[in-house]
Amino acid sequence: MFITSGIINDGKPIEIDNSKIISYLNILLVDLTEEEQMSFDKLKSSSLIVDEEASLVEYFVKFKNFVIVYDDEVYYSSELDENMIDKVQYIKKGYKLHKMPSMFFENGKNKKKLDPIQMEIERLGAEHSISEENDLSFWYPRTQGIGFKSPKTIITSLTEEETTLCKTGNAEDLDFDSIVSRIYGLNPGLYLYSDLFLRLGITSNKFNFATCHLNNIDELREKLIKYFDDLVFRLEWVTEINLIIREYIKTTYQRPTIYRGMPLNTEFRVFYDFDTQTILGIYNYWDKNTMVDNLRNKDELLTFVSVADEIDSEVSKLKPQLYEEVSKKMPSVTLEGKWSIDFLYDGENFVLIDMAHAECSYYYEKVLRNQTK
């Protein structure tokens, strides 16, 4: 849905001339209950700078769940139905977006709403994020030979001494000749003087993609030092580190990049229950609403919106085919519980690139919300 100025209330768009929006909201104030008026007054009094127009917009967005399009800016609450407005189109047309917390009034106080599903996600995620089963060394061997293409992969465990150096921010002191020698000894046919992808068993550093993409194995030392510089604080609880060198998957199509070099390829996140052999959901990895709400770099945001509709369209077109392939191939995998499975479409095949417990994977809240409908 797209309006140039006005409000969307309860899913119904009301086009209002920009100069008349504040007057319209002032009229709505007359119909507030006594309790709602108290809530509005408290909202105004809590602001360091009293701005009547800003307070009006803030109140109707946070407490009434309005979408307000005013002065080339779009204000919406955290509870907004993701299909209510087309955020990508607003950005393309030069509007600024403002996501506001949803609030309620209780016992004389304005309070933020706590999303019970998000609270459950945080609880489950904390439990599952430390599972050793999330390590690539666990799930990768179990997914080989099931019919999905996957990157050629080398897994080498760092020694206790090497692990300590990495955890303490001293990765530059690693014996890289020894590590490269071990990689060559494990090589299952992966040509090391080609594009490679670097990651750890438990995590990748894809949000600084420049550290992950190697032109060849000679760049390992430089990239790995930067890699561990980024992740050192996340490795505090880790006792073992698996170093992963993978084939870099290239696509038959070209898309722009964000996160310092990460291509905006067509990718999917599938949630699958291995106990019941059931697909719980298939989602666009580059979900439009999620990306628009979370991309803070303006250039990256504009890059994303330039291809968001193209990705969305291809995901919709390919989803039935992926559903069929997952349904046929995943039952043969010897895993238990609910998992997220990431696929990259290279232009010809779905490539299985990553897995983790569903409960600690982004978008699992979509699965839970669908289950409560």
364-372 helix and 116-128 helix, angle to the nearest 10 degrees: 130
Place of tokens 């060198």: 245
* Mean per-residue pLDDT pooled into runs of 10, the chain (373 residues): 89 91 91 89 77 87 93 92 88 92 89 84 82 95 96 95 91 93 87 95 91 95 92 82 95 96 97 97 95 92 96 97 98 96 98 96 90 74
Q: In this structure, are residues 205 and 199 in contact, taking their beta carbons and an 8 Å threshold?
A: yes
Q: In this structure, are residues 198 and 227 in contact, taking their beta carbons and an 8 Å threshold?
A: yes
* CA dist., res. 358 & res. 279, Å (int): 12
* CA dist., res. 360 & res. 370, Å (int): 17
Give strand pairing partners of 198. 245
Task: State the pLDDT at residue 216.
Answer: 96
Task: State the pLDDT at residue 146.
Answer: 96
Task: State the pLDDT at residue 48.
Answer: 64
Whether this prediction's pTM lies above 0.85 is answered by yes
What tokens does 344 get?
């990259």
Task: State the pLDDT at residue 96.
Answer: 93
What phi and psi values does residue 159 have, to the nearest 5 degrees? Answer: -70, 170
